[in-house]
A and B are shown apart, each in its own frame.
Chain A
Amino acid sequence: MMLADIAVGDTVTVEHVGGPRAFRRRLMELGLLPGTRVRLVGVAPLGDPLELLVRGASLSIRRAEAESIRIVQVAQGTMPDSSPAASPARAS
């Protein structure tokens, strides 16, 4: 499943960051790494870009790039950040 496919409010764990090298490098440097928990906070009014919550910061990326980030679903719907801080789920 890809990051672009999840619904607003879903919390997921990143499995693999794809895309152009400069992009994935910068995203990882901002703390969005395999194993990191990400919540889709919202989508811009025109449908793009997306707003993500990563390590307590709001990051925005476009849908096209979110297509290249593989994730596993952790929780659906609006979940508070204080969800159990489990180690990165590797189940598919």
Chain B
Amino acid sequence: MTESAGEHAGARPAAATPPKLAARQRVVLVGNPNVGKSTLFNALTGQRARVGNYPGVTVELREGQARLGPELEVEVVDVPGSYSLSARSAEEQIALDCVLGLASQPAPELVVLVVDAGQLIRNLYLALQLVELRVPLVIALNMIDEVTDAPPSPSAISQLLGVPCVSTNARKREGLVPLREAMASALGVTPSGALALRYPKALIEDADRVAEGLPDSWRRNVERDRALGLWALGSLEPDDELEHIPQGLRDRCLRAHEQAGDRDLDREIIATRYAFLDAHAAELYEGAQPAGEKRASSERVDRVLLHPVFGFVIFLAVMLVLFQTLFSWADPLISLVEATFGGLSRMVEGALPDGLLRDFLVEGLIGGVGNVVVFLPQILLLFLFIGLLEDTGYMARVAYLMDRIMRSLGLHGRAFVPMLSGFACAVPAILATRTMERWRDRLLTMLVIPLMTCSARLPVYTLIIAALFPPATVLGVLPVQGLLMVAMYLFSVLVALVSAAVIGRTVVKGRQVPLILELPPYRLPNPLAVLRMMWERSWLFLREAGTVILAATVVLWVLLSFPKLPESGPASAPTATAEHAEEDGAARRARQLEHSYAGRVGHAIEPALEPLGFDWKIGVGIIGAFAAREVFISTMGLVYGIGEVDDDDPQSLRDKIRSEKRDDGTPAYTPLAGLSLMIFFALACQCMSTLAVVKRETRGYRWPAFLFAYMTGIAYLASLLVFQLGRAMGF
């Protein structure tokens, strides 16, 4: 009877449910990267996970509930993977905060350390730190299936460290029952922590002196304070990026290092721990010799995948498939989304009478939701790819292969995949910067991705090139139009790389950190984990960036539609001859657009745009293009009173641009003005969705504002330079 009480609690009236929610105990999951920590998290928490944010830094903590017994449900927090608790960056500090309950984090009732059975000694280094800190601990000896030849013994580990240890295979959901039992009985149980670590006497004295500088809220007892003293000695530096560290503690560490003379305190701490583990390694394996099969087979694969020639060929092939997927194969799905929302719009248009409500529903609301959902195909496909690359271990190889090139630009090797994705669309590409751990690497990559020639710029380039440049050839063979298109691509890459180098040395300086990259053994991807990541990423995008995009669409709709023209405009009465009713409608819409806020802004900024070779109509087009760059075309169609223009084949608009005359009879648009416009579109941050995603990823308006300012700034200057120089040279 009691057993089922918890199960049925949800079905009862709310008043009858015991108020257990507030008092749910907290379990923190830690471990090195690539040990199957997230898989174990998924296995423990089932479908009920949410992605939260660690306050202050843009690191996500995944949280979920796990049922450990009929009456026992705990909160599980998945901390980013880390090799050690020592830290120098704010990101690395999170593991320590969560484990010890420092900063804003509540102290956990239990820490579960996930260990790769094939990398036992190195993984147990972290275990030693946790035991020293007297944290309630359970060790999950994971990936036990990969070491069948010489499995380490959980009971030997448990005996050596004085904490429970259970072998698991999270991927196959094996060992979960004993793990849950071990967790349930270890909740809140402090390990004895009596490890036979032989720290040099002088080091212990140093640690105790440092511990005197600990804030009162951190202190518990002599042993734990000493362990924290060792942590501080091994972590704090004059220029680390850690937060909430009292100055007194920092000073004491600094003094200890200065007075150490020839002694190397870091080495003393780390070497003592490894000496302990090495001395007991044989008993942990109960005499068996690990042969490292997994490693050997990975090395064979690497001989091909990291080969100087084949390695690069395969790398290029993989990246080509990724690019092709985003660029072309996502297209049918995108068209489907567009068709669905188009159909929905027509349905509403048919069902409602002409008027404000209908316009709002069709152009603001349905258009806005469509603007959000249209990104999903590319986001899902990109994260499918990233999930596969990460899970197999190939992503680390991408960083290894590209490090030489990316480093010279100040970028991380892992920035390659997001940058490449930027050619399809900046929105999923910016979401993909999550594969980098350091905030600085992520931010820098985010700030240059929007410069890559995304697919939304193509229709604009195509229109301008087709309208203003002759289908001639250079040197008899090279088509001018094709060359221009290629030049625009190269231009965007060049500007992105130069910007990365400049911004990386100025705005987001941060120190270059020496690379230490682990190349994990190759593994088969875990389809469920990949699907789950695709789902989580997409949902986060819909919830957080999607709402901003929707709101911006509505604002844009207001700008382009209000104020309304008076019912009978002054120009319509006398000149209306025998024109078709439809043309009249289009002309009226053009006048309406000119009358709107956007039209007025277009007129107002015309003096600023004239030196670039643009008129107010292009100004309106640029405003409209904030929804998405290709919307420039349909907005221009409206401005010119042509009515609806097909993005993909805007024949009528092309002719109009070609034949448009100024008041003095000269052509309104010259090839030079066209070039200037293309350069403006290449560089300007004409995309509210990009800004919305950057806002979500950086948690504030500061970086999207910077992104918009710097891109639009260089766009203006570059277009100005091109147009004025070109004119001076007589074009």
Which residues of A are at the interface with B, using a C-beta cutoff of 8 A?
17, 19-31, 33-34, 41-42, 44-49, 51, 53, 55-62, 64-65, 81
Is B173 an interface residue when CB atoms closer than 8 A count as contact? Answer: no
Classify the secondary structure of A's interface with B.
mixed
Contact between A58 and B237 (Cβ–Cβ < 8 Å)?
Answer: no
A43 CA / B714 CA spacing, docked (Å): 39
Query: Taking A46-B405, A51-B306 as contacts, is the C-beta distance between A61 and B515 under 8 angstroms?
Result: yes
Query: Which of A29, A57, A58, A64 lies in contact with B86, CB distance below 8 A?
Result: A29
Evaluate contact between A61 and B518: CB separation under 8 angstroms: no
Chain B residue contacts of A42, Cβ below 8 A: 302, 306
| Candidates B237, B274, B302; contact of A21 at CB < 8 Å | B237
Instruction: Tell me, in angstroms, the Cα distance from A26 to B438 when the chains sit together.
Output: 15
B665 within 8 A of A: no
Contacts of B517 in A (CB 8 A): 49, 59-61
Q: Is the Cβ of A41 less than 8 Å from the Cβ of B404? A: no
CB nearest to B403 among chain A residues: A49
Q: What residues of A have a CB within 8 angstroms of the CB of B515 in the complex?
A: 49, 60-62, 65
Q: B267's contact among A31, A34, A44, by CB below 8 Å, is which?
A: A34
| Cβ of B84 under 8 Å from chain A | yes
Indicate if the CB atoms of B295 and A29 lie closer than 8 Å. Answer: no
Q: Does B298 contact A (CB under 8 A)?
A: yes
**For the complex of A and B, 6 pairs with smallest distance between CB atoms:** A58-B519, A46-B404, A60-B517, A23-B514, A45-B308, A28-B270
Q: Is the CB of B400 within 8 A of A60?
A: yes
Q: A30-B83, A47-B404, A81-B292 are in contact. Are A59 and B519 (CB under 8 A)?
A: yes
Across-interface contacts of A41 in B (CB, < 8 A): 299, 302
The CA of A61 and the CA of B520, in the complex, are separated in Å by 14
Asked if A45 and B307 sit within 8 Å, CB to CB, the answer is yes
Of A27, A29, A49, A60, most B-chain CB atoms within 10 Å? A29
Residue contact A33 to B84, C-beta cutoff 8 Å? no
A33 to B277, alpha carbons, bound, how many Å? 13
Taking a contact as CB atoms under 8 Å apart, the answer to whether B401 and A45 are in contact is yes
Q: Given that A28-B266, A29-B270, A33-B271 are known contacts, is A56 also in contact with B400, CB under 8 Å in the complex?
A: no
Q: A44 near B401 (CB under 8 angstroms)? A: yes
Kindly report which residue of chain B lies nearest to residue A45, judged by CB atoms. B308
Query: Is B234 at the interface (CB under 8 A from chain A)?
Result: yes
What are 25 pairs between A and B in contact, CB < 8 Å? A17-B267, A22-B237, A23-B514, A25-B86, A25-B266, A25-B270, A26-B84, A28-B271, A31-B121, A33-B271, A34-B267, A42-B306, A44-B306, A44-B404, A45-B308, A45-B312, A51-B302, A56-B118, A57-B119, A60-B400, A60-B403, A62-B403, A62-B514, A62-B515, A64-B514
How far apart are A30's CB and chain B's nearest CB, in angstroms?
Answer: 6
Q: Mark B364-405, 1 if CB is under 8 A from A, else 0.
A: 000000000000000000000000000000000000110111
Taking the closest CB of chain B, its distance from the CB of A92, in whole angstroms, is 20
A83 to B290 Cα, complex, angstroms: 14
Complex-state Cα separation, A31 to B19, whole angstroms: 47
Q: Kindly state the interface size class of chain B when it binds its partner.
A: 35 or more
Q: How far is the CB of A60 from chain B (nearest CB, A)?
A: 4
Distance in angstroms between the alpha carbons of A42 and B519 in the assembled complex: 12
Q: What separation, in Å, do the CA atoms of A57 and B84 have in the docked complex? A: 16
Return chain A residues, CB-CB under 8 Å to B401: 44-46
Of A19, A25, A55, A58, the contact of B298 (CB 8 Å cutoff) = A58
> Who on chain B is nearest to A31 by CB?
B122
Residues of B within 8 A of A64 (CB): 514
| Most A Cβ at <10 Å: residue of B407, B513, B517 | B517
For B513, the chain A residues whose CB sits under 8 A away are: 22-23
Instruction: Answer whether A49 and B292 are a contact pair too, CB < 8 Å, given A30-B516, A31-B125.
Output: no
Q: Which residues of B contact A61 (CB under 8 A)?
A: 514-517
Tell yes or no: B650 within 8 A of A by CB.
no
> Contact between B267 and A33 (Cβ–Cβ < 8 Å)?
yes
Residues of chain A within 8 A (CB-CB) of B309 are 45
| Contact of B404 with A26 in the complex, beta carbons under 8 Å | no
B496-526 with Cβ < 8 A to chain A: 513-521
Return the chain B residue nearest A21 by Cβ: B237
- Docked pose: A57 CA to B615 CA in angstroms: 62
Measured CA separation A89–B77 after assembly (Å): 44
Are A49 and B270 in touch, CB under 8 angstroms? no
> Is the pair A60, B266 in contact by a Cβ cutoff of 8 Å?
no
- Write the chain B residue with the least CB distance to A85: B289
Closest to B277 in A: A31
When the two chains form their complex, are residues A45 and B270 in contact, meaning their CB atoms are under 8 A apart?
A: no
A55 touches B122 (CB 8 A): yes
The distance in angstroms between the C-alpha atoms of A24 and B271, with both chains bound, is 12
Given contacts A51-B302, A56-B119, 17 further A-B contacts (CB under 8 A): A22-B513, A22-B514, A25-B266, A29-B83, A30-B122, A30-B518, A31-B121, A42-B302, A44-B401, A48-B403, A49-B400, A51-B400, A55-B122, A56-B290, A60-B400, A60-B403, A61-B517
Q: Which residue of A has the minimal Cβ distance to B306?
A: A42
Known: A31-B121, A56-B118, A56-B295. A45 touches B306 (CB 8 A): yes
For residue A63, which residue of chain B has the nearest CB?
B404
Instruction: Give chain B interface residues in 23-52, CB to chain A under 8 Å.
Output: none
B88 touches A22 (CB 8 A): yes
Q: How far is the CB of B123 from chain A (nearest CB, A)?
A: 10
Residues of A with C-beta under 8 A to B520: 58
The residue in B88, B122, B240, B309 that gathers the most chain A C-beta atoms within 10 A of its C-beta is B122
Give Cα A81 to B267, complex, Å. 25
Q: Is B311 an interface residue (CB 8 A)?
A: yes
Contacts of A21 in B (CB 8 A): 237, 266
Please measure, in the bound complex, the distance between the C-alpha atom of A34 and the C-alpha atom of B278, giving whole angstroms: 13
Cβ distance B110 to chain A, nearest Cβ, rounded Å: 24
Chain B residues whose C-beta falls within 8 Å of the C-beta of A56 in the assembled complex: 118-119, 290, 292, 295
Q: Mark B93-130, 1 if CB is under 8 A from A, else 0.
A: 00000000000000000000000001101100100000
Contact of A55 (CB < 8 Å), options: B121, B234, B311, B400: B121
